[in-house]
Each structure stands twice: as structure tokens, then as C-alpha cells.
Structure 1
């Protein structure tokens, strides 16, 4: 096994992080400082040390979490509740979130202590698709849909987004659909918007730019008021999980994600 892969799978850090640790001379193999991340080691025989501490292979864990709106994707925060605050019955040492969701975005978020698993899902070259369900003030005409499918500019001097997939679900006046929008997100709407057009749908992207879904829809004149991630790759959010609940992934689900 490669040294960097062993350290990532042993919860020392993410793949990029452990490569830095190795190159900076923080890792020893059988008492010798090694600075080459790709060196092959025998995880069953060789003694691997990081900052003087012997590293042992640990069991891998994988969790699906239904993130509520209002908490932040971080390990700890002095002001806001974090996603880790919901893992009361789990040892979170070495556990990290795979990607992130904005504070007011809810839905599917994965957790693991497996750096290789994260790399396979988050590496830009893998183009893993993520699908979001949205409610947005505004309307989506055919030309708007074509623009999203072809790519839009979401910032000054930025390159076009990669082509997306979009499926419009419902559209009409906000007053007509206000009871279907998650109550947690109604603070984004005031009474002057009640007669404005609103649209819901599914947007699938294969990138991970900051606030990307919101910015893409804004680029075609829509203001997102509710956003929920419903799938990553072929893995769908388990709708039997209430907001704030989590469960382990099945072996079949893990294989669907990373092969």
C-alpha cells in the first residue's frame, strides 16, 4: 500500500494533507524519515510513525447525514451549531465531512474517516454529480434552461460553469406553493413577495464552487429561498432520516459511490 494512502485511511488527515506531512519529514517508516508519499509499505509489518506516534490501521466508517438548515459544516464553532453536534453517539475522532453544505442548505451530507473515499468523490477529475432540489423566486424560461445546461458565468472574470442538468418541477405564484416550502427557510421571504412567481426543480452539477447552485440560478434571474441536496452520484438521500439524523452506509451504497 502507498504510504500516503495508508495515512489517509488511518485518519491522520485527508490525502492532500498527509502528502504535506510526509514531504515535511513528519513521518517515519521503521525508524527512518520518509519524504516520498508514493513509497510502498506493508501495513501489516512496517512500523509507521507520525510525529513520533505509531499509526495503526483503523476500521473505516461511512455515514449518511440529513443536514438541517441553520447549522454549519464545521468541526466546531463558538457561535453556531455544527453538523458534528448531531453525532452524540459516535466517536468523531478522525471523522470528517465529505464536501460541505451552506448553513441554510439542507439534505445529504456524507461523513467518513477514509481519505481515499473522500478523494474519489471530491476530486474534480472524477466529475461526480450532485443533485439539489430548489425553490426560487422567479421563473425559468426555455432560454434560461438552455443557459444552465450549457454553462453560465457566476462571477466577474470567472470561467463558465460546466454544463448542468435541470428539471423544472413546479411553477406559479408564491402564494400558491408557500405551504410546500420548508418552514425553516421562510425567513428569506417577506410579504411583498407573495404574488411573485416561484419555481421549483432539480439542478444537477458536477463541480463544487462556492454557493454554486444559488449563483447559477441567480445568473438566470432566480433567487433561491430553499435548497436541499438529494443525491451524490447514484446515492440518494434516505428520506426516512429526519433532519439531524444519520445512519451508516450499506456496503452496496459504498460500492455505488466509489465502485
Structure 2
């Protein structure tokens, strides 16, 4: 049996206005379904089969959208905020009707990869603590990060609230020299996402993160061509990799 939905719901979801506005469109004969003028905005249609037109233009229905954002500093990972700009404020008006939300969060002062979607199931799978989705970060750290820190992170460190982290992989790109004012440069891969976890892990070993950027989340890698504040839709290949990763984890 083919999935059906109300015509007004479909049109609202594709940006043609509120249900009351769509009802007026139908009333003046501006909407057709399979070349027949629609008489009832509440009629059932099949999005994957029916040919729907508004003012003679075909309606392209999409249930879900998936966006990669290179989040800048100073923007909060939320759908609304009374004080700060949100990641949704960085998107174009063409996405306003999709009810998009960020998958997880990055701190206000953290940059990098953030997935935005309206697909609740995929978001749940990516965020579920049981899934252990790997996330890789680039960081600049005050203090000399060395092999002992990598070993400590591989065992798991105790945070300020007593929580012992899962093992994490620390890749030291540059060890730094505090005496010469040099910061350490590292990449860190986590299998969990506690509040301020990267910063708190380095705090646990006596160091301070001064710059943080997320590079990847599961199989999704930040596009180096995306400048901070820019976003784009996922490619078909990127989306398929995400879906396949979820199936593997569920299995």
C-alpha cells in the first residue's frame, strides 16, 4: 500500500504557506493533482506517485533534508535563542518550513562540523549513547601534550565530576613548547559526547583547550571547501554512508 498524506500538509511542508493559506489557493483553483483541479485541501495524495502543481508549477516534495554546516564561533547549536544567533539563522529561507534541528551540539565557542536535519530517527541513532558514534576534533592546547597524555586518554581519564571517560584516541600533531609560547596541536577521537568533554579531558591532565573544531562525526567528514558559516546539503554518497553506518551499528 502506498503512503498517503493530506494535500495541505504536503504543500505546507514544501513551503507554500500555512494550511489556511493553502486552503485559499485550492479555493481559487490554483492547485491541481494529476491534471485535475483540486477541490479539497484535505484530500489524500500519494507524494511518490501523484503529480501536484501549484500555479502551473510542479511541486517537488521532500520529507527529509540533511545539511552539513561548518559552524562558526559565537553561534549556538539550538533552534531558537533569545540572546544569541542560532545555527538555523545561518540557513537560507528555502529551509524554513522543514523544521530542521541540529544533531547534537557544539559549544558556542567551538567551530566545525554540525549536521542539521528534520530526520528524527537518524538523529536519534547518531546521538544514542549506546551507538558510540566516533567524533574527531582538532584542537590547539596550552601546555605540552605528550605520549603520557595519549596513554591516559587511551585508558580513560576521570573528569571533574568523577566520570571516567571511555578510551579515546589522541593523535599529537605538534607537542608544543610552553617556554617558547608554542601551543600543542592535536586531533582527538571520542566515542561519546559528554558536556564540554574535550575541554574537560585536557583539564584533567592539566592542560587547557584554546581552540576546538570538530572534523568528523561517524562517516561524515567536514567538507574543506565549506567556509565557516557556510552549509550545503549532503551528497547522495554521504547520506548513504550515514544510513549504512546506522544499519551496521543496529546489527
Q: Secondary structure at the match of 2:111?
A: strand
Alignment pair present for 1:116 and 2:121: yes
* Aligned counterpart for 1:129 among listed residues 125, 134, 141: 134
Deviations along 1:110-131, one digit per CA (max 9) or x if unpaired, are 0011111101211111111000
* Equivalent residue, structure 1, for 2:75: 71
Structure 1 residues 213 and 71: alpha-carbon distance in aligned structure 2, compared to 1, 3 A threshold: same
Q: Secondary structure at the match of 1:172?
A: coil
1-side partners of 2:230 and 2:161: how far apart? Answer: 39
CA contact (8 A) 1:138 1:196 kept: no
Aligned pairs for 1:128-147 (under 5 A) are 128-147=133-152
* Equivalent residue, structure 2, for 1:244: 229
* Equivalent residue, structure 2, for 1:215: 200
TM-score, reference length from structure 2: 0.70
Q: CA RMSD, aligned part only?
A: 2.4
* Equivalent residue, structure 1, for 2:109: 104
Unpaired segments ≥5 residues, structure 1: 2-9, 11-42, 45-56, 175-193
CA shift, 1:214, in A, is 0.5
Aligned pairs for 1:75-90 (under 5 A) are 75-90=79-94
Q: Secondary structure at the match of 1:91?
A: helix
Deviations along 1:43-73, one digit per CA (max 9) or x if unpaired, are 97xxxxxxxxxxxx96110000000011111
* Equivalent residue, structure 2, for 1:230: 215
TM-score, reference length from structure 1: 0.68
Alignment pair present for 1:200 and 2:204: no
2-side partners of 1:78 and 1:235: how far apart? Answer: 31
Aligned residues: 189
2-side partners of 1:256 and 1:132: how far apart? Answer: 20
* Equivalent residue, structure 2, for 1:163: 167
1-side partners of 2:172 and 2:180: how far apart? Answer: 20
Greater RCO (CA < 8 Å, at least 6 residues apart): 1
CA contact (8 A) 1:171 1:200 kept: yes
Which protein is bigger by CA-based radius of gyration? 2
